[in-house]
Amino acid sequence: MMARMHSGEMLRRLVGFDTVSRNSNLAAIEFIRDYLDGHGIASRLSFDDSGAKANLFATIGPADAPGIILSGHSDVVPVDQQEWTSDPFTLRSQNGKLYGRGAADMKGFIATALALAPELKQRATAAPIHFAFSYDEEVGCIGVSRLIDQIGMAEARPFACVVGEPTMMRPITGQKGLQSYRCKVHGREAHSSRTSYGVNAVEAAAELIARINAIARRVREEGPFDRDFDPPYTTIHCGTIHGGTVQNIVPAQCDFTYEIRNLPGHDPDPLLAEIETHAREVLEPEMKNVAPEAGFDFNARSRLPGYAIAEDDPAVALVKRVLGANETGRASYMTEAGLFGRAGIPTVICGPGDIAQAHKPDEFIEEAQLARCETFLLRLTETLAA
């Protein structure tokens, strides 16, 4: 058997694969598969439609017993337009910190789990540990759905899942949902001296965005509220807008994106309906009077559920006991927990590193966090075996 690799060394290997979501992750996944294979652990891959990306699912210990999933995403966000001190895909160690794209979000967790694989194999005698590593999390939790289908076919249904997103090794028991939309506004071109013959798509978009902003303000003031979240209410925001060509043409096209990050108990559908109804009933009639083809097209980009697990759920109790933690927290950022939760698998978010580092230039993870994660995973496996 090969000697055990250090977590930091494994992280160096993983950071070296440029798994920005737009790229293939196969080199990284094949490296992981071969590494596990070298320790006598078989992996199953599931591919996206192009075949250029894959999830990896591996079971350590008895496959016919219910066990625990350790979930992580293999992809990372781009480094474009970011000022990095050194190459983001070459792990740099300085003063107890390891710098590189994905160090915190979330190759640190995957590296720790992989480095421990030989030890987990010795200790997972009664209940298995499953590695579930996905593609395309950062672009809308796309890969994990296929992974969950695969888990559904596992010999024994896992009884819990730990999503290792960076929480500074604190257990997180709820997250907001994310509904993200693209709106295309169609108008009609005209010379800008003849505005009444055209339909201005940029102005129509602006009117709808103003309405979205008014809804956001109302929700911020009137709630619902959940003080465990920061901010403690559902947020709505427009992120991009593109429209028009030159100053002296009434623009025929404009598109913009917006998103709703909803509290787990707050149904986002009435808010989405309110936006669309304003477009259809208030804005479109006037546009169509001039140009029947004018109007709004709404396209959902991602619809991800919020998630909350009961504080007295056995999965929460287990993670708290293993960590020696009394408190739990909530996350306003999106993770795959919502999708595992929707599949009926009790899920806790807990991983090394700080979410404040995620997606930033000079992203880092403290080596001490990797050590804490090692202790957690070893104790978790021992507890399951006992």
Give the residue numbers annotated as catalytic, written as ranges.
75, 137
Nearer to Zn ion, 332 or 383 (CB): 332
Nearer to Zn ion, 41 or 106 (CB): 106
What's the alpha-carbon Rg for the chain, to the nearest Å?
24
Nearer to Zn ion, 105 or 136 (CB): 105
Nearer to Zn ion, 33 or 73 (CB): 73
Residues that bind Zn ion (CB under 5 A): 105-106, 165
Closest approach of Zn ion to the CB of residue 118, in Å: 26
Closest approach of Zn ion to the CB of residue 367, in Å: 20
Closest approach of Zn ion to the CB of residue 100, in Å: 14
Closest approach of Zn ion to the CB of residue 117, in Å: 21
Contact 367, 92 (CB under 8 A): no
Closest approach of Zn ion to the CB of residue 346, in Å: 20
Nearer to Zn ion, 105 or 226 (CB): 105
Contact 355, 166 (CB under 8 A): yes
- CB-based burial label for 232 (10 Å; 0-12, 13-18, 19+): middle
Nearer to Zn ion, 323 or 334 (CB): 334
Examine residue 224 and say whether the peptide bond preceding it is cis (omega within 30 degrees of 0): yes
Q: How far is CA 332 from CA 53, 87, 113, 377, in A?
A: 28, 30, 25, 25
Task: Give 260's strand partners.
Answer: 179, 236
- The number of beta carbons lying within 10 Å of the beta carbon of residue 335 is 28
Closest approach of Zn ion to the CB of residue 123, in Å: 27
- The number of beta carbons lying within 10 Å of the beta carbon of residue 238 is 18
Nearer to Zn ion, 165 or 366 (CB): 165
Closest approach of Zn ion to the CB of residue 105, in Å: 4
